[in-house]
Amino acid sequence: MKTSKRNKLLSLALAGSFSLFGATNALAAAGDTVSNRATLSYDVGTVNQTVIESGTGAGNSAPGIGAGNDTDFLEDRLINFDVVRGGSTGTVTPGGLLQSVQYTVTNNGNGAQGFLLKGLNNVDGTADPFGGTNDEFDASAVQTFVEDGTTPGSFQSGEDTAAFVATLAAGASVDVYVVSTIPLVDSGANPLVSTNVAVMSLVAQLAIPGSTGIAADAIIADDNGNTSPGGTGFTNGAENVAAGVAATNADDPTTEEVVFNDGVGTQEGTGAADVAQNAQHSDDSSYTIQSAELTVTKASAALWDPINLATSPKSIPGSFVRYTITIANAVGAADADLTTLQDVLAAELDLDADFGDGTAANNPTSAVGASIQITHVDNAVTNFCTAAADADGCDYTGGAGGTIDVDINDIMGAVDAQLSAGESLTITFNVIVQ
Among 51-55, 91-95, 313-317, 428-432, the minimum mean pLDDT is found in 51-55
- In this prediction, what percent of the chain has a pLDDT beyond 70? 88
Across residues 217-233, what is the average pLDDT?
93
SS3 409: helix
Residue 363 is predicted with a pLDDT of 53
Residue 10 is predicted with a pLDDT of 34
Residue 142 is predicted with a pLDDT of 97
Architecture category of domain 294-433 in CATH: Sandwich (2.60)
Cα separation, 412 vs 393, whole angstroms: 9
Tens-digit pLDDT profile for residues 44-87: 999 999 998 888 889 988 999 998 888 777 776 889 999 999 99
Indicate whether 262 pLDDT > 70. yes
Cα separation, 121 vs 101, whole angstroms: 12
Across residues 305-318, what is the average pLDDT?
92
Question: Domain residue spans in the chain?
Answer: 3-75, 78-289, 294-433
Distances (CA, A) of 323 to 144, 251, 349, 430: 51, 86, 11, 6
Q: Which residue has the higher pLDDT, 252 or 360?
A: 252
Same fold, 78-289 and 294-433: yes
- Residue 178 CB burial class (10 angstroms; 0-12, 13-18, ≥19): buried
Across residues 385-414, what is the average pLDDT?
92
Residue 368 is predicted with a pLDDT of 58
Across residues 375-404, what is the average pLDDT?
92
Indicate whether 11 pLDDT > 50. no
Indicate whether 31 pLDDT > 70. no
Residue 200 is predicted with a pLDDT of 96
Residue 362 is predicted with a pLDDT of 56
Architecture category of domain 78-289 in CATH: Sandwich (2.60)
